[in-house]
Amino acid sequence: MAIERCAVLGAGLMGSGIAAHLANAGFPVLLLDMEQRAAAAIDKLKKADPAPLMTPDAAKLITPGSFDDLSGLAACDWIIEVIVEDLAAKRAMYDRVDAVRKPGSIVSSNTSTIPLASLAKKQSDAFRADFCITHFFNPPRYMRLLELVTGPETRPEVGAELAQLCDVRLGKGVV
C-alpha cells in the first residue's frame, strides 16, 4: 500500500514536530490530541525556532482534530502514535485505533523506551502485522536519524515501505 495520508496521535512537542515534517514532505496529516490542543500546536509550529515547517504553506496540510473522534483514521495509510510514555495508555489508544483504521494501514509508535513486544501484546493479529516503532529524534526536521523497529509478527512489507519512505521522502538515515 502506498502511503499518501498520515495521522499523528499526540500534538505535543514530538507529535507536532513529526506532523510538520510529514507536511514538509507533502503529506496531508491529521493531527489528533485533546480538545483544542492540536489547533494550538499548529499555531506554535508557525512561530517555533528552529522552524519545524519549511514554508508557511506546509501548515495547511495539517488538519487538527480531537481524540474524541478517531473516524478520520480510516482514511490514513500511516498512523503514528506519539502519546505519553505509558504502556496502559498506549494499549488503550491502540484498541481504539484498531477499531477504526483501514485494513493494511501501518501503525507505529514513536516510543524510545517501551519494547515493541510489550506494546503489541494483547492487540489483534492484524494490528500486530501492521505495527512497528518509528522513533524520530527531536527536532524531527533537523535530526536525520530515525530508528525503525519491526517485530517477528510485523509484515516484511511494513518495514520495507517505511524504510524507503523515511529515507527518500523524509530524508532520514534509517537504522
Where do the H-state alpha helices sit in the chain? 13-24, 37-47, 87-100, 116-120, 125-129, 156-168
Answer yes or no: 135 catalytic: yes
Residues 162 and 148 sit within 8 Å (Cβ to Cβ): yes
Burial (CB count <10 Å: 0-12, 13-18, 19+), residue 39: middle
Cell of 165: 519512505
User: Of residues 135, 139, 151, 174, which has the active-site annotation?
Assistant: 135
Tracing cell 503489541 back to the chain, one arrives at 120
List residues with catalytic annotation.
135
